Amino acid sequence: MDFSLSEEQEILRNSIRKFLEKEYPKEYIRRIDKEEEYPLEIVQKMAELGWLGLSIPEKYGGVGGDILDQTLMIEELARCSSSIAIAYLLNICFGAKTIIYMGSEKQKKKYLPKIASGDLIFCLGLTEPSGGTDALSLSTRAVRNGDHYVINGQKVFITGAHVSHYIILVARTGPKKKKLTRNIGIFLVDSKSKGINIRLLDKLGNKATGTCEIFLEDVVVPAENILGDERNGWYQIVNTLNNERISVAAICLGTTQAVIDESLKYVLERKAFGKPIGQFQYIQKYIVDMVMDLEASRLLTYKAAWLESQGKNCNIEAAIAKLVASEACFKATTNGMRIFAGYGYMMEYDMQRLWRDSELWIFAPISNEMSRNLLAQELGLPRSY
């Protein structure tokens, strides 16, 4: 059993860190958070460096890396800013990997090179106002009409929809059946299509990557834009959802590492009662707990990423990684606020941003309560809902 990263992966991680420190210092991150500016500039520069094609096969203009490479990338981006990591996730996890998993050869040739080059931005349209974690209650409908589908419905909490070129849209293609996973299709929907209205929502954290409502009224989508099977799309998009959970776990790793970095620097400089607060045992406990939780979360996340990279089933491992990493991140940012105390509450310090950003992952993309329910079912326990 080898826990070491390859030389190429070490080079990748160090390159990302140096790039962000040089090109996008903390002042830039604070500004895009305050102004809620989508980091399109960084996305384009990552494309120029070949990073948007990291986990895209070479024959489609990518680098040919795997999910573990992608995980390392997202973790390092999140150490700088979770919003930048999310912007990367949208294109690679929702766009590229979904098309790799489900797309036809024609679709792969059409879209993947443009994702790698940064010419296309994607988002995932799954959640609905009445759904949330209960994703299978979706009511957005896609009705076949000759050579196209007509789609009506509403989506909510869709990150990046306002800047996306395409929506990976999940919709019902037939009546709801007792088995709710049936009659679901996945569509590539042009965000500028007639009948689509996108509205930005006001939110607490990750403010540089806007979150939106999407309204679809008689939206015409060519039949050639369906991904995979018209009736069994839910089973096909499971790989994307596992990839998303691993990617979110990686964001939590990077955020937790950022909390540790900020806390270590602060406790050695801040003095109380005539000495650095880093000498106080309870402060030391907070930081040591962060490090222990991060190490455990990282091992779980890397294992899930490795399994997916090997084409192995990782439903359980991806769910556990997201659950453990998000709770470790939530705990770290909360204790980071305690360490910084009044200064942490001030907007000029980054701890408040890390805390705001971490709140999301307790309930998204799936609530940790639901994750535990699903894990219980995997163990053979009766369904509780």
CA distance 364 to 254: 17
Last-in-domain residue among 62, 91, 120? 120
Contact status, residue 44 vs residue 118, Cβ threshold 8 Å: yes
Residues 265 and 220 grouped into a single domain: no
- How many structural domains does the chain have? 3
pLDDT tens digits along 183-193: 999 999 999 99
Residues 200 and 222 grouped into a single domain: yes
- Residue 187 belongs to domain spanning: 123-232
Angle at alpha carbon of residue 330, lines to 327 and 333, rounded to 5°: 145
Residue 319 has pLDDT above 70, yes or no: yes
- Rg over alpha carbons for the chain, rounded to the nearest Å, is 21
Angle at alpha carbon of residue 130, lines to 124 and 135, rounded to 5°: 45
CA distance 294 to 301: 10
Question: Is position 384 within any domain?
Answer: no
pLDDT tens digits along 125-178: 999 998 777 778 899 999 999 999 999 999 999 999 999 999 999 999 998 877
Contact status, residue 227 vs residue 99, Cβ threshold 8 Å: yes
CA distance 94 to 102: 11
pLDDT score at 180: 81
Question: Is position 144 within any domain?
Answer: yes
Amino acid at 307: L
* Beta strands per DSSP E along the chain: 122-125, 141-145, 148-159, 166-172, 184-190, 196-201, 211-222, 226-227, 271-272, 275-276
Q: Which residues contact 357 (CB under 8 A, 6 or more apart)?
A: 82, 83, 205, 206, 255, 333
Residues 247 and 349 grouped into a single domain: yes
Question: Is position 54 within any domain?
Answer: yes
The confidence band for 385, taking pLDDT boundaries of 50, 70 and 90, is: low
Question: Is position 2 within any domain?
Answer: no
